Amino acid sequence: MLNNRQKMIFNYIEQSGAVSREQIQEAVSKEFEKCSKVTILRDLDVLIAEGLISKTGTTKSALYALSIKNKLLSEVDVEAYFANDERKLENNRFNFEIMSHLSNLLTSKEQQEYAHLNEQYLKSRAEMSPTILRKEFERLTIELAWKSSKIEGNTYTLLDTERLLKDNVSADGKTEQETQMIINHKKALDYIIENTNEYKELTVRKIEELHRLLVEGLGVSYGVRQTLVGIVGTDYKPLDNEFQIKEALEQLVKLVNQTENPLEKALITVLMISYIQPFEDGNKRTSRILGNALLLANDYCPLSYKSVDEVEYKKGVILFYEQNNISYFKKLFLEQFEQAVKKYFE
């Protein structure tokens, strides 16, 4: 628990950016008397130990700023942030450093809470007959294929999607690409459900194979892209070098395989595949299905994203692109996990 002086120091650093000990002491002395150098240094050590700030430089020239971990997880006023079309980006290029900080994204309390929730899923699933279990996966597949495609601009309705996947009847007035996108989702979901154990250990090849299933027949090149890509709605510029893209994927695979908590594995994967943009198209679709593959491989409930608002989903992803902040997307992701447990396999 921080005392009032430590809170003031943190707020000052948050508002001012990188500052020296002298600047901090001068600001704090206006509110608190007898703030010696030793007292300020002790308070700064507390904030560093809590992971709230970081220190760079030697003692005399040291600067204190918000830690990357704090920036990663701190809450953001999303409405205010996106009200400004001229947003200031923390980094408009790919930040390789961010992967070294993608750990312990869930608090101990959150890990316990969601593990307990997942136990309900496992208990309900174990009590189901094979026929009912198959129907539940069919329902989840339809709803995920619909919503994941809708996030990408597909105009199929949920009823259209159900008719297509159950009766093989395409909807009137829809393009062949829209129809194929829905069908590809089912193929990819069927594959990860039937090959659950394959995703206990992730590889770049497995990511590429899943992407191939999702973009088949859509005129999209397979494998790591060799061209530039832009992203609508943001000035963030993904990597433009094939070798760097492959390096980023290798680092991601290593990170995911080292991460123990299944929800963190999936959360990291969904965001980082979107952030790396390794493919010409179909990146976010691949990220969502791959996230579910990791959840299923670790006996966790998969997500359908049925109730997520497409605009809010995109805001969560863009906030990570532009500020390397995971807080809003994490909130949406955990909400969807909770709803999936309560909606399916009951």
Q: Measured between alpha carbons, how far is 247 from 241 in angstroms, rounded to an integer?
A: 10
- CATH 1.10.10.10 range(s) for the chain read 4-66
d(CA 101, CA 114): 22
Structure tokens at 12: 């000052």
**Residue 66 and residue 57: Cα distance in Å, rounded?**
15
Residue 313: CB atoms within 10 A of its CB come to: 22
Tens place of pLDDT per residue across the chain (346 aa): 789 998 899 888 888 888 999 999 989 888 887 788 899 989 999 888 877 888 888 777 899 988 777 788 888 899 999 998 888 887 789 999 899 889 889 988 999 999 999 999 999 999 999 999 999 999 999 999 999 999 999 999 999 999 999 999 999 999 999 999 999 999 999 999 999 999 999 999 999 999 999 999 999 999 999 888 889 889 999 999 999 999 999 999 999 999 999 999 999 999 999 999 999 999 999 999 999 999 999 999 999 999 999 999 999 999 999 999 999 999 999 999 999 999 998 7
Residues 212, 117: Cα–Cα separation, whole Å: 33
Q: 96-343 adopts what CATH topology?
A: Fic-like fold (1.10.3290)
CATH 1.10.3290.10 domain extents, the chain: 96-343
CATH topology of domain 4-66: Arc Repressor Mutant, subunit A (1.10.10)
Q: Which helix (H) or strand (E) is 177 found in, with range?
A: helix 176-194
pTM for this prediction: 0.85
At 84 the three-state DSSP class reads coil
